[in-house]
Amino acid sequence: MPEPSPKLFIRAAQTSDLAALLTLEEQAFRGDRLSRRSFRRAIHSAGSALLVSGREDGQNTDLLGYALLHLRQGTRLARLYSLAVSPDSRGLGVASTLLVACEKKAVKLGKSVLRLEVSENNQVAINLYHKLGFREFGHYDAYYEDQTDAIRMQKPIRHVEGMRSVRAVPWLAQGTPFSCGPACLQMALTQLNSVYQATPDDELEIWREATTIFMTSGHGGCHPMGLALAAQRRGLSASVWLSDDVPLFVDSVRDELKKNVIERVHHSFAKQCQDARLEVHYKAMPLTQLLQAFDDGALALILISTYRMDGKKVPHWVVMSGYDEDCILVHDPDLDEEGRPQDDPASPLDCQYVPIARAEFEKMSRYGQRRLQASVILNPR
């Protein structure tokens, strides 16, 4: 007669679990292993949740498995970064118990989508994910250390009334800390203009064409009119929506010479738009109109403040890649690898179709003291 499956406990990992976690990692994976530093970081980070499982009866004090969630601040996205089960415990329901606990944890923290990647060779795990409601939505070539491919899977974990509307927008990472705008434009160009080829050189060329010449502590950022003009030169139809008709970003500059330069660049862009018959609307684009433009085939580059995502009051460009009744989905070109351990890198999976609650998006898309709203609407010509 077979032994009954033991009851399992689930709890948050503690520093005292580090040795057991490392043992699990060695037993479960041949490569791509997490380090002690990564586990310690996950235990103490507000951006992660590390859950462990063991036997409730206390007869065996060893951990049977763990699950590591990454929680992207300011968004509705949770990502299952790693799941490991002791070889001796397979078949006891440890993995499914941990996955259910991860879903509950993510929902409790306000997340609506859970994503993961899995080796295309790991059919047992793929079958489990399918059984629990995950569906494939992408693929990564040579994703793992052994060069095997990864399947991308996701699951809605919070009920949404409306149908999800998404566009197959290719994702590109920005090549420099200051070229989010050009990277976003390159994503849109790749989707809307079949002959366009995105290159690192053109990313810098777009930045050169569109930058405001901030002249503050760092490199200049891209002006919405500059991005629209660059898009038009590369074969797209563009329009700009600005909530203010004064030179942008002047509030953050005290030096009169620097203010003068920014103002001159702004007026130059306005004159170039006028000469090119590129429409500039000096009002914020209503969300309903933005969604309608998306449904009609347009893509939008949207200026946001990153404060709700990383605590920094920095202007940042993203591409709208979809929406539903609850969220706006965006492609974010910034991998944000600063300070991450080498064995726990940021993933492009965290930057694509990022779900942001509509109310949160409305707050993010207002930048600076003047609560600036800026969108560049792009269509095939």
pLDDT, averaged per 10 consecutive residues of the chain (381 residues), comes to 63 93 89 87 91 77 88 86 89 91 90 88 91 85 77 78 74 92 97 95 96 64 94 97 85 77 91 96 94 96 82 84 89 74 64 87 85 94 88
Q: What is the pLDDT of residue 3?
A: 46
Residues 363 and 284 in one domain: yes
Residues 6+ apart with CB under 8 A from 140: 117, 149, 150, 152, 348, 349
Q: Are strands 113-119 and 77-85 parallel, antiparallel or unpaired?
A: parallel
Q: How big is the CA angle at 76 (ends 176 and 50), to the nearest 5 degrees?
A: 90
Q: What is the pLDDT of residue 62?
A: 78
Q: Tell me whether residue 169 is in a domain.
A: no
Which residues, in sequence order, are bridge partners of residue 367?
A: 372
Q: Tell me whether residue 167 is in a domain.
A: no
Q: Tell me whether residue 171 is in a domain.
A: no
Q: What is the pLDDT of residue 236?
A: 97
Instruction: Provide the 8-state DSSP code for 59.
Output: S
Residues 92 and 29 in one domain: yes
Residues 144 and 220 in one domain: no
Residues 213 and 138 in one domain: no
User: 182, 206 in Cβ contact below 8 A?
Assistant: yes
Joined tokens for residue 255: 């030096």
Joined tokens for residue 293: 């433009």
Q: What is the CATH number of the domain that holds 235?
A: 3.90.70.10
CA 108 to chain centre: 20
Number of domains observed in the structure of the chain: 2
Q: Tell me whether residue 173 is in a domain.
A: no
Residues 92 and 190 in one domain: no
User: What is the C-alpha separation between 329 and 326, in angstroms, rounded?
Assistant: 10
Range of the domain at 119: 8-159
Residues 281 and 341 in one domain: yes
Query: Does this model's pTM top 0.85?
Result: no
